[in-house]
Amino acid sequence: MRKIGINVNPDVIYGVDPFLTCVKNTGFDCIFTDGFEADFVEWMSSRCRALGLEYEMLHAPWDEINELWFHTEKADALVKRLCDCVSMAAKNRVPIVVMHLSSGDQCPHVTDAGIENFDKIVKFAADRGVTVAVENQRKLGNISTILEIYGKDTNVGFCWDVGHEACFAHGREYMPLFADRCVTTHIHDNHGRYNGDDHLIPFDGQIDFRHTADLIHKAGYEGTLMMELDLPHEGSDKYINLNMEQFVSKAYAAINRLRIIAE
C-alpha cells in the first residue's frame, strides 16, 4: 500500500512538536519540510526518528529560482543555496530534494548556462546519495529538457504537483508525460483558477480527485501520496474552525480516500 504523508511547517499554529506527534498518532507514514534552516531540519530529523516517521523530502528554496538560467553572481549564490539544501538532506538522511526550475509566466528560456548550473547541483547530490526531483510549475520546456538530459539511471526524477497542474497548466496533464520518472508527489486542492494556488485539503476544492486517482493507477505509481497543505498559521483564515486533532484527522481521511480509490 502506498505511503501517505503531509508537510510540516515551522509556523503551524498548533506548534511543531504537538503537530508532528498528532500526525504520527493519526496514521501518517512520512512528512516533508522546507530545507531552509539547518537547525530546524536537524531537529526534525531527530524527532521523526524518535516518533517512527519517515522524513522523506526537503523542499529547496525557490525564491530567485529564475536566476538558475544565467551565468551571474546571483546564479552562483543560488546554486550554493541549493547545494546547501542537498547537504542538509544528506546529513539528516532525507532521500529527496524537490526543486522548482522556474517561477512566473515570464521566466527565462532553457539556456546552456542553466543546464550547467543544474548539473553542478545534480552531481553534488549524486555524490551524497540524494535524489533531485523537479516539480511542475507553469512551464513544460525546462522540466522536459532536464528529464531528457538526465535519464532513469540518474538521481533526477519528477515531483508531480497536482494543485499546480490544476491552476498553472491550462489543462496540460503531467503524469501521463512523466509517470515513469515520478519519485514523489505534492497533493493539494484548489478551485482551478489560474494562479489560485490555494493548497487546500483534497476534496475541499474543485480538482477531480477521482481522475487524479485514475492517473495514479494507470501510471503504476506506487510512491508516497504526499500532501502539501496551507497549514493553519498566524494570519491565515483557512481551517481556523478546526482544532489540531480535527485538522489532522480531516487531512488523513482525505489522503487515505485518495489512496483507496487509486488502488
pLDDT of residue 161: 98
pLDDT of 159-208, one tens digit each?
A: 999 999 999 999 999 999 999 999 999 999 999 999 999 999 999 999 99
Q: Smallest Cα–Cα separation from 113: which of 73, 144, 150? A: 73
Q: Could you tell me what percentage of the chain is helix, strand and coil, using 3-state DSSP and rounding each to the nearest 5?
A: 45, 15, 40
* pTM greater than 0.95: yes
Place of cell 511547517: 9
- pLDDT score at 171: 93
Q: Which domains does the chain have, with CATH numbers?
A: 4-261 (3.20.20.150)
CA distance 231 to 18: 14
d(CA 39, CA 235): 25
pLDDT, tens digit, 9 for 90 and up, residues 36-86:
999 999 999 999 999 999 999 999 999 999 999 999 999 999 999 999 999
Element (H, E) at 188: none
Closest CA to 99 of 52, 131, 139: 131
Residue linked to cell 531527530? 46
Asked if residue 6 lies in contact with residue 13, where contact means CB atoms within 8 angstroms, the answer is no
**Which residue's C-alpha cell is 543544474?**
118
Q: Identify the three-state secondary structure at position 27.
A: coil
